[in-house]
Structure 1
Amino acid sequence: MFQKMVFLALASVYASCALAQQPAPQSQLAQQSQLAQPRPAFKQFEVATIKPVDPGLKAPRFIVMQGVNRFVEKDYTVKLLIAAAYDLNPKAISGGPEWMDSDHYDILAKTPGEVRPSHDEQMEMLRSLLTDRFGLAFHREPRVFSIYELTVAKDGPKLKKSAEAPDSPPGLISVVYPQHITLPARNATMGDFVSLLQRAVLDRPVVDKTGLAGRFDFDLTWAPDETQFGGEVPVAPSDAQAPPLFRAVQDQLGLKLIATKGPVEAIVVDKVERPTAN
């Protein structure tokens, strides 16, 4: 029973983490109400509380919108916040003090208006918060990294065009089970998929080389290893029935992850401070 509870908790953690701010389902009336509301300019949070947390507690880590205007972030380091805000793999972020990768923070913030902000709008407000409350300053440099390129496999893609409205938010939710991970993706672009892979799953930057436009629905199931999810997901046993990630991507999606080296526009932190008092 304890093991089952652990994995249920992990499922909840990584549904939120990999989802990266996807909205919860809404009724048709709620959606219509939101459409009727004027859309504010989402430049910064109306108010935000930042609290340091004990990294030894190993709390669930996620960023999610709860309701229309409640932004919640749990147990992120500043480096991981920068990676989320600027859509980068953490390895593409360098410089700054050592605590940037060891101090953990919770953020609770209120977004303006009565319309749920999109993922991009949430990240714009998070970027403002990093500047205003953490004093973040950085510059960008092109650097060569070990990367993965996502390409189309020899026999072509096995992706279904999404039936969702083009302006519906994408859904990519990684759910952890004892021997495998499932990723049901809905209304997702290849850019959405690559963003998820490099921010939450893989240990290096990922570059989209598929040339595939549009939005797709697909399901991906694989057995995780120690390099994925920052080492925080239990490694699948050797007799797991699900395939490893790279084979699953090829067999189930008709795509291919190729390990290579290539340029990435990296962030070099020039200045960052522990957050100002609430």
Structure 2
Amino acid sequence: MQSARPPALPLFLLFLTSAGLAQAPASSPPAGPTFDVVSIERNTDQPRVSGVTDRPDGGIRATNVRAGQLIARAYPPAIPADIAGLPDWATTERYDVIATSTLTRATPEDRAAMMRAMLAERFNLIAHVEHPELPVYDLVLARSDGKLGRGLTPTEVDCEAQLAAERVVDDLMEGDTTLANLAGALRTYTGRSVVDKTGLTGFYRVKMTVDLMASRRPEAAALRPDAPSVFTAVQDDLGLKLQSSRATGLRLVVDRIERPTPN
């Protein structure tokens, strides 16, 4: 009998990048697209399912999410671990959010701008960005001869046209991407920023077996001691290595946030 696993996370969500932070200060939403209609409801049922579904037009359906998750989506490449100054309720209370859009097709920048506008209007969010020196991981070649693992092969596929095919299923992370985007995806599971220093350009097919949930939740690792960690999988499957280093990082500081206004 197969054991129950947490719901898989679409890898394409992790690979989305944006210049949102460089385009506007975090203290106020920039001029740009906004959601058409927004519904925010407190979720007190505490269901096991939690996540965000993105529509091509930029609309979203978020189920059982914390405020920090929404803020991170508004200021990519931030993740919840980058956010400081959140009150207790913003890290514990959960919400269901449905937001519609009138755009035909939203870019990553559009999505971030709409989320920033919603947070400013409904959560009264004010924040600013800091860039302290932080511990990071450098993504480097593991072998001196430059040989790659069997899970990392060059491909002619344009990853931007194949994002929907990238996926995380059970313990398999697979998809076509660049090494820079792979570094961004790994960041979610290492707890630190990952800097691509492989020197590899172009698109690659990535395939590695890894216990992704244990990487993010140490208590899960105790339940599956034989499952490979992200660090092991990166080296064994990809022929790369995550090496400790320091670099200028990102910290999003929340100056003010309030519980969302009623619908």
* Shared fold (TM-score, shorter chain, > 0.5): yes
Question: Do residues 209 (structure 1) and 197 (structure 2) align?
Answer: yes
Shift of 1:47: 1.4
Question: Do residues 250 (structure 1) and 235 (structure 2) align?
Answer: yes
Question: Do residues 192 (structure 1) and 190 (structure 2) align?
Answer: no
2:207 aligns to what? Answer: 219
Question: Do residues 168 (structure 1) and 156 (structure 2) align?
Answer: no
1:28 aligns to what? Answer: none
The answer (yes or no) to whether the contact 2:158–2:203 under 8 Å persists in 1 is no
Change (3 A) 1:230 1:47: farther
The answer (yes or no) to whether the contact 1:151–1:255 under 8 Å persists in 2 is yes
The answer (yes or no) to whether the contact 1:47–1:110 under 8 Å persists in 2 is yes
Which SS does the other structure have where 1:20 is aligned?
helix
Deviation string for 1:135-188 (max 9, x for gaps)? 211111122333222222224244323333464152542222xxxx110112x1
Shift of 1:270: 0.8
Matches within 5 A, 1:1-278: 4=3, 6-7=4-5, 10=6, 13-16=7-10, 18-20=11-13, 43-54=33-44, 57-66=46-55, 70-86=59-75, 87-115=77-105, 117-154=106-143, 155-156=145-146, 157-158=148-149, 159-165=152-158, 167-170=160-163, 171-176=165-170, 181-186=171-176, 188-199=177-188, 201-224=189-212, 226=214, 228-230=215-217, 237-238=224-225, 240=226, 243-278=228-263
Amino acid of the residue matched to residue 160 of structure 1?
T
75-84 or 56-65: which moved more?
A: 56-65
Gaps of at least 5 residues in structure 2 are 17-30
Shift of 1:219: 0.6
Which SS does the other structure have where 1:57 is aligned?
coil
CA distance, structure 1, for counterparts of residue 40 and residue 247 of structure 2? 36
The answer (yes or no) to whether the contact 1:225–1:235 under 8 Å persists in 2 is no
Change (3 A) 1:237 1:202: same
Deviation string for 1:14-46 (max 9, x for gaps)? 234x442899xxxxxxxxxxxxxxxxx972211
Deviation string for 1:210-239 (max 9, x for gaps)? 33332222111123574x23458565523x
CA distance, structure 2, for counterparts of residue 21 and residue 129 of structure 1? 21
The answer (yes or no) to whether the contact 1:14–1:62 under 8 Å persists in 2 is no
Which SS does the other structure have where 1:124 is aligned?
helix
The answer (yes or no) to whether the contact 2:155–2:203 under 8 Å persists in 1 is yes
The answer (yes or no) to whether the contact 1:224–1:234 under 8 Å persists in 2 is no
Shift of 1:60: 1.9
Amino acid of the residue matched to residue 255 of structure 1?
L
The answer (yes or no) to whether the contact 2:138–2:197 under 8 Å persists in 1 is yes
Amino acid of the residue matched to residue 259 of structure 1?
S
Which SS does the other structure have where 2:206 is aligned?
strand
Percent same amino acid among aligned pairs? 28
58-67 or 106-115: which moved more?
A: 58-67
The answer (yes or no) to whether the contact 2:190–2:230 under 8 Å persists in 1 is no
Q: CA RMSD in A?
A: 3.0
The answer (yes or no) to whether the contact 2:38–2:100 under 8 Å persists in 1 is yes
210-219 or 229-238: which moved more?
A: 229-238
CA distance, structure 1, for counterparts of residue 212 and residue 222 of structure 2? 6
The answer (yes or no) to whether the contact 1:88–1:205 under 8 Å persists in 2 is no
